[in-house]
Amino acid sequence: MGGTTGDGEDGHMGRALVLGGGGVTGVAWELGVLAGLAARGLPLDEADLVVGTSAGSVVGAQVRSGTPLAELYEAQLRPPRDELPARLGLGVLARWAWAGSWGRDAARARARVGAMALSARTPSEQSRRAVIAARLPSSQWPAARLLVTAVDAASGEFVVFDADAGVPLVDAVGASCAVPGVWPPVTIGARRYVDGGVRSPVNADLAAGYGQVVVLAPTVAAVGPAPRLPAQVAALREAGARVAVVSPDRAARTAIGRNVLDPARRAASARAGFAQAAAVADEVAAVWA
């Protein structure tokens, strides 16, 4: 069971918003940027296509729910309650890098990361699913186009879930957010899935065919044969798209800190994103208008 596979094009001209991975602070920063841009007359949530990877899948589902961006932003400023902090420690990163850096076969490299994820000690799927469900304003797929990325833990196959995939939105987002070694792989049908960032932290190439593309990328780090964001952006531009890429500036990086999975850094990350929107608004407007 799953959505479309591979790196396919959509074939439409229009506007696409691509939201990359980056933990709970990435969710907050992206929502801050989006709210700040909307306050300046740039409502990116009205895109024809939204692509979400990991943290970006949470933001994508939130902004496609119809909830006003200002409300989503304000929610990030509230003190965290029942969410426990986690840590993407050096040990996990090292195992991920080692597993994913062998050879040039991207699917096999992803499968090695998936095997590491399947063998890791993590919280239960049920408890993690409840956390993901609590983050989503709606459990239903939106009518507007939303793509959510994941990776089959056993085969390494890149999978893109959408409203036609027959997969609950909560499970699709949970799979996209299943950081190997930190959170449990998500069971969908007979398969188990891990974070879409295992393939690429951004997966901007899924916006192929769209003429105006804005990418919010809290992180661009990739290992092994994973597609790199600069190459993805270059391909989009070569095909005729106007593309703007926004990543955290110095103030935002300071607010985010070293642990992107710490809910205590959420409010500061959101405020930094909102502030950064002022600096990038002209660049984004040149693409979006």
Residue 100 has a pLDDT of 56
- What interhelical angle do 90-100 and 106-119 show, nearest 10? 140
Phi and psi for 47 in degrees, rounded to 5?
A: -60, 150
Largest CA distance in the chain: 47
More confident residue, 59 or 83: 59
- Our measurement of the distance from residue 9's CA atom to the centroid of its chain's CA atoms, rounded to an integer in Å, reads 18
User: Average pLDDT in the 43-53 region?
Assistant: 98
257, two tokens: 């800190």
Domains contained in the chain, CATH given: 15-86+116-288 (3.40.1090)
Residue 92 has a pLDDT of 61
Whether pLDDT at 225 is above 90: no
Q: Helices (H), strands (E): how many in the chain?
A: 10, 9
- Computed over every residue of the chain, the mean pLDDT equals 91
Per residue in 184-220, pLDDT (tens digit) is: 999 999 999 999 999 999 999 999 999 999 999 999 8
159, two tokens: 């999978």
Bridge partners, 214 (sequence order): 17, 244
Band (pLDDT 50/70/90 cuts) for residue 222 is confident
Active site residue 127: no
Task: Enter the pTM of the model.
Answer: 0.92
Per residue in 7-45, pLDDT (tens digit) is: 334 445 899 999 999 999 999 999 999 999 999 999 999
Residue 97 has a pLDDT of 63
Active site residue 195: yes
Residue 9 has a pLDDT of 41
Residue 90 has a pLDDT of 56
User: Average pLDDT in the 234-259 region?
Assistant: 97
Choose, from 10, 152, 171, 195, the residue flagged as catalytic.
Answer: 195
Residue 2 has a pLDDT of 47
Band (pLDDT 50/70/90 cuts) for residue 99 is low
Bridge partners, 145 (sequence order): 49
CA distances to 29, 68, 160, 217 from 65, rounded to whole Å, are 19, 9, 19, 21
Choose, from 45, 54, 171, 262, the residue flagged as catalytic.
Answer: 54
Residue 278 has a pLDDT of 98
Q: Is the separation of the CB atoms in 216 and 246 below 8 Å?
A: yes
Residue 7 has a pLDDT of 39
- Our measurement of the distance from residue 189's CA atom to the centroid of its chain's CA atoms, rounded to an integer in Å, reads 23
Per residue in 60-97, pLDDT (tens digit) is: 999 999 999 999 999 999 998 766 667 665 566 566 56
